Chain A
Amino acid sequence: MKAAQPRLRALACSGLAVLLLLALLSGQWWLGDLPGRMQFDARLAPPGLDHWLGTDALGRELWARTLAGLALSFRVGLLAALLGSAIALGLALLTTLSPRLDALVRLLIDTLLSVPHLILLLLIAFALGGGLQAVVIAVATTHWPGLARVLRAELLQLRAAPYIGISRALGKSQGFILLHHFLPHALPHCLVGALLLFPHAILHEAALTFLGVGLSPSQPAIGILLADAMRYLSGGYWWLGVFPGLGLLLMVLGIERIASGLRRAL
């Protein structure tokens, strides 16, 4: 029973994650235009019964904007994590093919890791002109090296395993060994890596948007809400910053917990 517990916990966490995902994805449908609807008689209203989390300077409901922002962040995180881990997995598998390719990939990893990634992130997002696509590409292309390094080390160790050499001696092709020996070994690591990449991606999306090279100001992204809150913070309108920030923190922590649960289970 004890051995099954981490798996059980991971299963519960994954179930919770699916629920969260559904809630966030369906949010766009049941929130409607509420995140953008302005109420000029209730500008900067504090949290209360009428306005649960308060309103912003244009009288928009903060709870609706926070939820919509989280859904947007979730989408960015998901896409960036998928893209980033796909790059990492692909390059890690390439390293098993020849020592020369391995050296090339290692060089690429070291180069990218030696540049502060926030600067690279800003540069790429800026060069691509901002927007959802630019943020996803920027986060994915700067965040694969860490995961690729882990996957490469795993596969390097596997490459020395006798059964790989035996498979080759039994006449199996490179492609067969890649697909049937290396890939199934790397996939669980890759899944956990992708989940760990996820909160990073969300935080960086928020950071990019906050700094003005991310999503457009018309979208209720968490970064936009936080940047907006900065302008009113000195006026004592604390709810503008606290609730979106808290929402982001909860989501990031939740996903982090799921990832660490899954890592223990696998």
Chain B
Amino acid sequence: MLEACQLCYAFPPQPPLFEDVSLRIEAGEWVGLSGNSGAGKSTLGRLLAGYDEPTAGRIRIEGERFSTKGLRPVQWLPQSPELAVNPRWQVVRVLNEAWEPPEALRRAFGIKSQWLNRPVRTLSGGELQRICVLRALAPGVRYLIADEISTMLDPITQLALWQALKAEAEKRKLGVLVISHDAALLKRLCQRRYHLENARLHAAEHHQLP
């Protein structure tokens, strides 16, 4: 269980971005997070993945702090895949940065083998996003923070990406926090949903997957 207790975060001279935010993601659970631009959704995601330290509060996995050394059990997937890969590398090098995904999984994510030996900059955003998602699924990863990962994709690519991720997450009991503006998407994907507004986290109505 990934657990955040009474998190508070502020960019120093400003008033706190959010206060007293508590959130729980069980293994295998999909949780949705929405909120207006600037509400602090991405910052909350980065805190959960250990990229930044909260001003107050604590984050625990199975009741313990997680080390920021080595492969982190919580992985953050940012919105722009172009910034998430070294532009000088080849696709295969990016994909295998943490582990070597089996071919079946590569196929499930729609990654073609002819992409592998191409430079990263020759891939489109959607293609690159699939590489980034698969890269983050290394063995040992238990939670994913998907920060608007499908916002810039066309509907068909979006669907394919979520289906592949859903299948793999179910198989491995990954907990996923989906951050998005798209209420319909969150409703479809997530059992529980939260809304970040006025520096507080509000629970949206419980909604089971059809």
Q: A residues touching B (Cβ–Cβ < 8 Å)?
A: 161-163, 165-172, 180-181, 184-185
Contacts and interface: CB of A to CB of B under 8 A. Distances in A.
Contact of B83 (A163, A168, A169, A170): A163
Contacts, number: 43
A266 B78 CA distance: 29
A172 B83 contact: no
A168 B70 CA distance: 8
A172 B97 contact: yes
Contact of A169 (B50, B80, B85, B88): B50
Nearest to B74: A169
A100 B74 CA distance: 28
B5 interface: no
Binding site of B, secondary structure by majority: helix, strand, loop or mixed? loop
Contact of A163 (B50, B68, B84, B98): B84
Contacts of B76: 166, 169
Given A162-B83, A162-B84, A169 B75 contact: yes
Nearest to A168: B68
B88 A171 contact: no
A166 B51 CA distance: 9
A181 B76 CA distance: 19
A181 B70 CA distance: 17
B51 A167 contact: no
Which of B72, B83, B86 has the most chain A CB atoms closer than 10 A to its own CB?
Answer: B86
Contacts of B68: 168
B84 A170 contact: no
Contacts of B169: none
Given A169-B49, A170-B136, A171-B98, A163 B75 contact: no
Contacts of A184: 88
Given A163-B84, A169-B71, 7 more contacts: A166-B76, A166-B78, A168-B68, A169-B49, A169-B76, A170-B135, A181-B86
Contacts of A171: 70-72, 98, 138
Contacts of B80: 162
23 contacts: A162-B78, A162-B80, A162-B83, A162-B84, A163-B83, A163-B84, A163-B85, A163-B86, A166-B76, A166-B136, A168-B68, A169-B51, A169-B72, A169-B76, A170-B72, A170-B97, A170-B138, A171-B70, A171-B72, A171-B138, A172-B97, A180-B86, A185-B88
Interface string B71-95: 1100110101001111010000000
B55 to A, nearest CB: 19
Nearest to A181: B86
A118 to B, nearest CB: 39
Contacts of A166: 76, 78, 84, 136
A161 B49 CA distance: 16
Contacts of B51: 165, 169
Nearest to B50: A169
Which of A165, A169, A172, A185 has the most chain B CB atoms closer than 10 A to its own CB?
Answer: A169
Contact of B97 (A161, A162, A167, A185): A167
Contacts of A163: 83-86
A70 to B, nearest CB: 37
A92 to B, nearest CB: 18
Nearest to A161: B83
Nearest to B94: A163
Contact of B98 (A161, A165, A170, A185): A170
Contacts of A181: 86
A205 to B, nearest CB: 36
Nearest to A165: B51
A168 B138 CA distance: 14
A108 to B, nearest CB: 29
A27 B50 CA distance: 61
